[in-house]
Chain A
Amino acid sequence: MSNMVQAIRMALHVAEERHDLTDVFGEDVGPPLGGAFTATQGIKCAWNTPLDERGIVGASIGLGLAGCRNVGEIQFCDYAYNTIDLLKLAGMMYWVSNGDWNCPMTIMTPVGSGIRGSVYHSHSFDATATHIPGFKIAMPSTPRDAYGMLLSCIVDPNPCFFLVPKALMRVRNAPGEEIPGEPGDDRALSKMIDAPLGDRSKWQPRWPETPDLFVPFGEARTVRKGRDVTVVSYGRTLPLCAKAAEELSQENLEVEVIDLRSLWPYDWERLKESVARTGRVLYVNEDTEVTNFGEHLVRRTTDELFYHLAAPPKLLGGAFVPGIGLADNLEMASVPQLPSIRQAISDLAAMEA
């Protein structure tokens, strides 16, 4: 069963074989490394660029305008900040030309904390990405969703962000959520598609036969049904929310957990139905809490569901500090962890209606 980087690799392979993906590029993306997280190993159209994020985003736009489906990688989203004006430009291409120039392109970048990445390998990007109109934004929390959402990004006629929670890169699919066609045995898959250590010049991957599986934009996934509280999350914090819900079920609290996964467009209908039913909602992500995407969701919840609410809608986000410190205690205190998520859910459930 694949982990998330293997799922990404398989999606890129399918896209270059069957969906006209012409370029996967970025720093250390091509051979011999195949990506800092190995997500591009064995991809024929993967190539290395100069160490220049503006060049990567610019080339991605240019390739898109020339009709080439492409995936440009920013090695860590922390290094995308010097490309913001180019990202704005990509997002406005179709709008500013009043519908004449669309721009198919995908910017793939690892996001978030969880690997003790210190100040410049732990940033989140969802608040920034959702502040750039014109992009579709995918942020999977399972390998299967990573596979299906990356394929959706690649074939979309618009610019897309594919945000990869780096803490989940090695997490595997839950039983029953496999990608059809992938070997069930982890070691068998590894032998097929993981590049060997040492000399890789003669190595060729053997790809499993996996299908066109498109996870559509704008469709959230209900991870767990519940009647008492709705928890909406995505990325690294999603499995923590699911775990907290599982633990709280021992205390007779039934928590509904929704994986938003498509940040733009997003599945408001599913959120609305759930929150109207439970009357309580907690949004959880790990980006800094001021002008956080969850704040938008809180505002919309208040605007549209006020009379359904039994308690104020809540947001649990990351601390509004300039970076995430390296020391274990610093990282743990900066972004939501299982205990703080569990506590936030309990507190919300306990608030009097």
Chain B
Amino acid sequence: MSTNLRPVPSAPESEISPELLLRLHELMVKARVLEERLIQMYKQGDGYFWIGGPGEEAFNVPLGMLIQKGRGPQFDYCHFHYRNSGTWLAMGGDPIDSLRQMKNTATDPFSGGRNFVGHYSRREWNVVPVSSPIEVQHSMAPGTALAQKRAGGRGITIVTGGDAGTAEGDFSTCLIWSSRPANPLPVLMIVTNNKWGISTSYQGQHGEKRVSDRGKAFGIESKTIDGNDPEVSYREIARAMEYVRSERKPFLLEAMVSRLYGHSSASGANRISDEADCLVGFERKLEERGLRSRKEMDDLRARFTAQLQEAHKKVRDEPQPDGKTIYDNVFADRDLVREG
């Protein structure tokens, strides 16, 4: 990482209990093992395409733990991108469902075999369908936030994206619409900056030192943090969320993260050796503090790996969607989003 991309140091104090640290760790391991399993599925021919977020667990897991999940404007609306598997798991998602989407089975609860892996969707939790076009979620986010502002309460809209996507006009749309003096909106804009857009480096394309600097022009509270540190991430996400929940105004949070397996299967999905691994760093800390031994961590990983191996076998035998279903659900005859 070059000097000008270094995150702003966060306050050193720790407000996180040992129990929470262990829970964070467990979910980070689970998320990593899930992504590794998905890559393996791709390589074994159990899926056409892989994309995901291995390397972002230290940020994505705390994010998922802090989201107020539920249905309707009193809860958080989530406009994710396709690297949020850690967030999904931390919200309580079942990893086997990701495998189902990877294998495009009829049982895939997010899209019934219609969409790529990592494209989560669940109305019960206000997770709107993830879409492949980069950054469009930033244009939709002000809409749900507007409904929340009007409804009152503490529900907020969370929108996530990468650094490369901030070049799209939709990012500016979100900055402008969420900070309109006529009606500022409770939007938490998150940029996980892995310094890459497929094969193109951030540094070659972006003159701004930090993405978060762009918030300043709109009077938006902004910060860049070390997204590879789960303790920092947890604290900073909690603070940003509290600001958005109580002030009903936007916050732009940029987290510097790693990309451990490249962009997607299109670039091979092989392990990148020169990126910092958030899990390795965190495990070292847990060991040093005597919170979890190496053996316990290895056992944990082995347990999740075995569970997902079983899940993989199960998903292999699940049915593919019937071609006759392509016309299903083009039009709704019930207004589900308006039903209580």
Chain A residues proximal to chain B, CB less than 8 Å: 20, 22-23, 47-50, 52, 54-55, 57-69, 85-86, 89, 93-104, 133-134, 136, 157-158
Give the shortest distance, in Å, between A18 (CB) and chain B (any CB): 15
Residues A96 and B129 in contact, CB atoms below 8 Å apart: yes
Residues B170 and A58 in contact, CB atoms below 8 Å apart: yes
Jot down 17 A-B pairs with beta carbons below 8 A, ordered by A. A23-B146, A50-B177, A58-B136, A59-B139, A62-B144, A65-B77, A86-B139, A86-B140, A94-B332, A104-B337, A134-B330, A134-B331, A136-B331, A157-B337, A157-B338, A158-B331, A158-B332
- Chain B positions within 8 Å of A104 at CB level: 335, 337-338
User: 20 other contacts beyond A59-B146, A157-B334, A157-B337, with CB at 8 A cut-off?
Assistant: A52-B173, A52-B176, A57-B139, A58-B139, A66-B148, A67-B338, A68-B147, A85-B133, A86-B139, A89-B131, A94-B331, A95-B329, A96-B131, A97-B129, A98-B110, A98-B114, A100-B121, A157-B332, A157-B335, A158-B332
- Chain A positions within 8 Å of B47 at CB level: none
Give the shortest distance, in Å, between A282 (CB) and chain B (any CB): 30
| A-contacting residues, B93-149, CB 8 Å | 110-112, 114-115, 119, 121-123, 128-129, 131, 133, 136, 138-148
Residues A65 and B128 in contact, CB atoms below 8 Å apart: yes
Of the candidates A55, A85, A89, A100, which one forms a contact with B142 in the assembled complex, judged by CB atoms under 8 Å apart? Answer: A55
Instruction: Please report the total number of B residues contacting A with Cβ < 8 Å.
Output: 48
* Chain B, residue nearest A20 (CB): B338
Give the shortest distance, in Å, between B158 (CB) and chain A (any CB): 13
- Chain B positions within 8 Å of A85 at CB level: 133, 136
Residues A62 and B142 in contact, CB atoms below 8 Å apart: yes
* Chain B, residue nearest A217 (CB): B331
Give the shortest distance, in Å, between A323 (CB) and chain B (any CB): 24
Residues A93 and B129 in contact, CB atoms below 8 Å apart: yes
Give the shortest distance, in Å, between A214 (CB) and chain B (any CB): 15
Please list the 10 inter-chain residue pairs (A to B) with the smallest Cβ-Cβ separation, ordered nearest first. Answer: A62-B143, A58-B139, A66-B147, A102-B332, A98-B112, A157-B335, A99-B329, A59-B143, A63-B143, A62-B140
* Chain A, residue nearest B330 (CB): A95
Of the candidates A22, A89, A98, A102, which one forms a contact with B335 in the assembled complex, judged by CB atoms under 8 Å apart? Answer: A102
Residues A66 and B337 in contact, CB atoms below 8 Å apart: yes
The verdict on A59 contacting B142 (CB below 8 Å), with A67-B337, A100-B121, A157-B335 known, is yes
- Chain A positions within 8 Å of B337 at CB level: 64-67, 101-104, 157
Residues A66 and B144 in contact, CB atoms below 8 Å apart: yes
Cβ of B169 under 8 Å from chain A: yes
Cβ of B161 under 8 Å from chain A: no
Residues B150 and A22 in contact, CB atoms below 8 Å apart: yes
Chain B 170-192: CB-based contact to A (< 8 A → 1; otherwise 0): 10010011001010000000000
- Chain B positions within 8 Å of A95 at CB level: 114, 328-330
**Cα–Cα, bound, A112→B129 (Å):** 34
Interface hub of A55, A89, A103, A157 (most chain B Cβ within 10 A): A55
**Cα–Cα, bound, A49→B119 (Å):** 30
**Cα–Cα, bound, A103→B123 (Å):** 11
- Chain A positions within 8 Å of B77 at CB level: 62, 65-66
Give the shortest distance, in Å, between B66 (CB) and chain A (any CB): 21
Of the candidates A54, A102, A103, A158, which one forms a contact with B169 in the assembled complex, judged by CB atoms under 8 Å apart? Answer: A54
* Chain A, residue nearest B115 (CB): A96
**Cα–Cα, bound, A85→B136 (Å):** 8
* Chain A, residue nearest B124 (CB): A100
Give the shortest distance, in Å, between B94 (CB) and chain A (any CB): 16
Give the shortest distance, in Å, between A67 (CB) and chain B (any CB): 4
Give the shortest distance, in Å, between A265 (CB) and chain B (any CB): 8
Residues A65 and B112 in contact, CB atoms below 8 Å apart: no
* Chain A, residue nearest B148 (CB): A66
| A-contacting residues, B283-340, CB 8 Å | 328-338
* Chain B, residue nearest A105 (CB): B143
